[in-house]
């Protein structure tokens, strides 16, 4: 799956979590812009892992701060 397809799918998955309807750009941060708390992050990561059949380690999660980094990480984990 190419980066554009991963982007589209993650946008679908994030919709229920994006309570404020924040516009998603590569720079959009999960903590500040989307105001995700730790429980929301865990639920969202579980959705991504299930959808893409991947595992995102805790170390990887700690490094992913924005939407663009998430797309790149998921794309790389699928290779």
Q: What is the mean pLDDT of each run of 10 residues along the chain (79 residues)?
A: 96 96 97 95 96 96 96 94
Q: Which domain, by its residues, includes 8?
A: 3-78
Q: What is the pTM of this model?
A: 0.93
Instruction: Give the CB-side neighbour count of residue 13, counting CA atoms within 13 A.
Output: 21
Enumerate the H helices of 1-79 as residue ranges. Answer: 3-14, 38-52, 58-63, 67-78
Domain total for the chain?
Answer: 1
**Residue 24's CATH number:** 1.10.1200.10
Q: What is the pLDDT of residue 79?
A: 78
């Amino acid at each position: 799956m190419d980066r554009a397809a991963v982007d589209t799918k993650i946008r679908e998955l994030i919709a229920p979590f994006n309570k404020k309807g924040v516009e998603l750009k590569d720079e959009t941060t999960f903590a500040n812009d989307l105001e995700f708390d730790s429980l929301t992050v865990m639920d969202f990561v579980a959705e991504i892992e299930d959808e893409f059949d991947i595992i995102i380690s805790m170390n990887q999660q700690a490094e992913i701060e924005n939407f663009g980094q998430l797309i790149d990480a998921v794309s790389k984990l699928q290779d």
